[in-house]
Structure 1
Amino acid sequence: MERYHYFRQFHDISSADYRLLIENLQSRSFKKGESIVVPGQIQRELYFVKSGVQMAHFDTDDKTYVIDFSHFPALCAIAESFSFQTPSKYFITCLTDSEMEYLSYEHLQKLLDQSREIERLFRRMIEAMLADMVNLHINLRAMTIEERYLTFCRKSPQLLHLVPHKYIASYLGIDPTNFSKLFNQVKI
């Protein structure tokens, strides 16, 4: 039921349409360190996180660049790979053991055709994701490292204890040493 309330933040989906959506979900488990998507692979399933934390990232020259984190009750996807059924440029890696529910791309398309409410829900979720990406870009350019750290702590405090700090530092565009200083000195 918690996922139902999560969806309703984006669109006031009826309980009947919610049931239509969730009755088609299948389950899958992933182990810590396991990749859900790798570069060159087309993401064919849209994942709904039940438990665990996942990270979207790419690696170059022995450095990991973190794009995003996902955790319950959010979706877990490489948006452009899933939406356009094109090869991914990024990884999604499980940072903890993870339980997911998923729909195939084809099945989701049928549901979107079947229900205007489900289609509207996903459109609004994508709009929110786009707004979050724009805000992250603004924050990376306009905020000090302390402001970025505090904003992250307010939005996702639970991740401070579940995600290696080097990955949070990468996501926030902060040197890991400076992140460690912030973590030890700035109280929230």
Structure 2
Amino acid sequence: MERYDYFRQFHDISPADYGQLTDHLQQRSFKKGEMIVVPGQTQRDLYFVKSGVQMAYADAGDKTYVIDFSYTPFLCAIAESFSFQVPSKYFLTCLTDSELEYLSYEQLQILLDQSQSIERLFRRLIEGMLADMVDLHINLRAMTIEERYRSFCRRNPQLLQLVPHKYIASYLGIDPTNFSKLFNQVKL
């Protein structure tokens, strides 16, 4: 899906406003395993994924807790760090080689002040992200592990080939051994 079409799912942004937003994007490449943000670092740029897969996560001792995955056409950020310009509590890393476009926090604020349409787009994007987080929170408590696995596979089938299964298991709150069983036994 093209980024413009993705954005229009949230707000019917005009081609002119979309151009105003994308004219300010700069490009950055990251290698697989490269960190975008680490705990204690403030995320100064908002990334728009062109290619690759990224993962936000927290480490607690010897355990990794996956918060989210990003890939095209989504945004890539530690939302709290970027939105409030505070040090991150989490890691943001590239699981594959990645091409990202970005806007600085300051540049985004200028665009939000200049265009009600861009401001509305970002408000709706944030509302969508919040709704997805609430759904995930409820699903982790209300669904069986097989239901969580099936739901993830319906929404993100491409990630099964791109992301190490231990990270998907963590994201879904499933023990890696049980995830492996589901992967090998559940027919989608």
Q: TM-score range by the shorter chain?
A: over 0.9
Q: For residue 151 of structure 2, what is the amino acid of its counterpart?
A: T
Could you list the runs of 4 or more consecutive aligned residues of structure 1 that deviate by over 3 angstroms after TM superposition?
none
Q: For residue 98 of structure 1, what is the amino acid of its counterpart?
A: S
1:141-177 Cα distance to aligned partner (Å, 9 max, x none): 0000000000000000000000000000000000000
Match of 2:144 in 1: 144
Identity of aligned residues (%): 82
CA distance in 2, matches of 1:142, 1:26: 42
CA distance in 2, matches of 1:55, 1:69: 4
Secondary structure at the counterpart of residue 56 of structure 2: strand
TM-score, with structure 2 as normaliser? 0.99
Match of 1:51 in 2: 51
Q: For residue 44 of structure 1, what is the amino acid of its counterpart?
A: R
CA distance in 1, matches of 2:62, 2:117: 44
Give the unaligned 5+ runs of structure 2. none
TM-score, with structure 1 as normaliser? 0.99
Give the unaligned 5+ runs of structure 1. none
1:62 positional shift: 1.2
1:63 positional shift: 1.0
CA distance in 1, matches of 2:156, 2:127: 20
1:57 positional shift: 0.1
Match of 1:31 in 2: 31
- Superposition map of 1:85-124 within 5 A: 85-124=85-124
CA distance in 2, matches of 1:64, 1:80: 19
| Total equivalences in the alignment | 188
Q: For residue 167 of structure 2, what is the amino acid of its counterpart?
A: Y
Match of 1:8 in 2: 8
Q: For residue 40 of structure 1, what is the amino acid of its counterpart?
A: G
Secondary structure at the counterpart of residue 157 of structure 1: coil
Q: CA RMSD in A?
A: 0.7
CA distance in 2, matches of 1:61, 1:36: 21
Q: For residue 34 of structure 1, what is the amino acid of its counterpart?
A: E
Match of 1:168 in 2: 168
